[in-house]
Amino acid sequence: MSLNIANVLTEALPYIQKFSGATIVVKYGGNAMVQDELKRSFARDVVLMKAVGMNPVVVHGGGPQIGDLLKRLDIESKFVDGYRVTDSETMDIVEMVLGANVNKEIVNLINQAGGQAIGLTGKDGKLIEAQQLKLRSKNLGPEHSASEILDIGHVGEVTNINASVIDMLIQGDFIPVIAPIGVGENGESYNINADLVAGKLAEVLQAEKLMLLTNVAGLQSKSGEILTGLSAQEVDALIADGTIYGGMLPKISCALQAVMNGVGSSHIIDGRVPHAVLLEVFTDQGVGTLIKR
């Protein structure tokens, strides 16, 4: 038993040395966000990363929690091309769930584990500036005209990240926990995909790693084998031959774009595994798919 612990610590040492002082952006979502033990293990992982000299930055989702509250309020959830149609009433719910309930729960879990977390939305300090996302009908079937642009409400895309807000918190030894709500030029709120926010944030911060927690074991080959250590060219080939498709496509695209724009590596990891973040950062084997520059 003690020998196993010593081996684990020895294996972790070079990674602790290599990534000391590095910024690591973690998108937190999926099962890891709803199961109590996984929530606690994630919080401990983040605190340990900070304790050994890394600078974790957490971006969280909250789609299931938003859907649950809308259902309880008897408000129908509508989706177009994977995006939640977000009118003003729905946006109020999104802000309440993401910016208050979910965000503060994560902050509290990290603080209870011994860290110093501070919760933010993109509206704080104009951290995430955004504009309305325009969906073109070419993605939506032949019944729409080719030039048609659909209005799906307060769904946004990032136009600018104010990195100085995060830099200030990191220098103060805090762990930023960010809800993916952006602010428009007239102060309006936008609901933004958390993977996209995490990717853009990693690019702007020139992070060492972008880690995207999912509910799958990683990117799998057609035979079910977990693929890892992929280059950008290999990812492009997997998209072309249909290995990467459906819901994994936008996640892989986000991870790939981050690497192409200066992030050291991107990781798609299985958030259903306790301490998945630590296993990916500190062990040789990891628990997901690594995409490298």
Give the mean pLDDT of 247-252.
76
Residue 212, both tokens? 């995207």
Residue 202 pLDDT level (bands cut at 50, 70, 90):
very high
Q: Which two tokens mark 192?
A: 């933004």
For residue 3, the model assigns a pLDDT of: 67
What would the pLDDT profile of 118-174 be if each residue is shown by its tens digit? Answer: 999 999 999 999 999 987 755 455 555 555 677 899 999 999 999 999 999 999 999
Beta bridge partner(s), residue 213: 269
In this prediction, residue 219 carries a pLDDT of 74
Give the burial class of 139: count Cβ atoms within 10 A of its Cβ; 0-12 exposed, 13-18 middle, 19 or more buried.
exposed
**Token pair recorded at residue 79:** 């989706």
Q: Which are the contacts of 96, defined by CB distance < 8 A and separation ≥ 6?
A: 69
**C-alpha distances out from residue 30 to 11, 42, 224, 225, 269, Å:** 28, 12, 21, 22, 11
> For residue 247, what pLDDT band results from cuts at 50, 70 and 90?
low
pLDDT tens per residue across span 79-107: 887 788 999 999 999 999 999 999 999 99
- pLDDT > 70: what percent of the chain? 92
DSSP element (H, E) containing 58 = strand 55-60
Res 287 pLDDT > 60 = yes
Task: Give me the residues paired with residue 176 across strands.
Answer: 118
State what percent of residues in the chain have pLDDT above 90. Answer: 61
**Degrees (nearest 5) of the Cα angle 104, 59, 221?**
135
The count of other CB atoms within 10 Å of the CB of residue 223 is: 5
Instruction: Provide the terminal-to-terminal Cα distance of the chain, rounded to the nearest Å.
Output: 38
> Do β-strands 175-179 and 117-121 pair in parallel, antiparallel, or remain unpaired?
parallel
Instruction: Say if CB 110 and CB 117 are below 8 A apart.
Output: yes
pLDDT attached to residue 227: 74
CA-CA distance, 149 to 106, in Å (whole number)? 37
Lowest mean pLDDT among 106-115, 119-128, 168-177, 249-258: 249-258
Alpha carbon distance 49, 263 (integer Å): 18
**Whole-model pTM?**
0.90
Q: Largest alpha-carbon pair distance within the chain?
A: 67
The closest of 45, 73, 7 to 269, measured between CA atoms, is 45
Task: Return the domain boundaries, the chain.
Answer: 18-292
Apex CA 115: angle with CA 111 and CA 116, to 5°?
A: 80
CA atoms within 13 A on the CB side of 64: 8
CATH architecture classification, 18-292 = 3-Layer(aba) Sandwich (3.40)
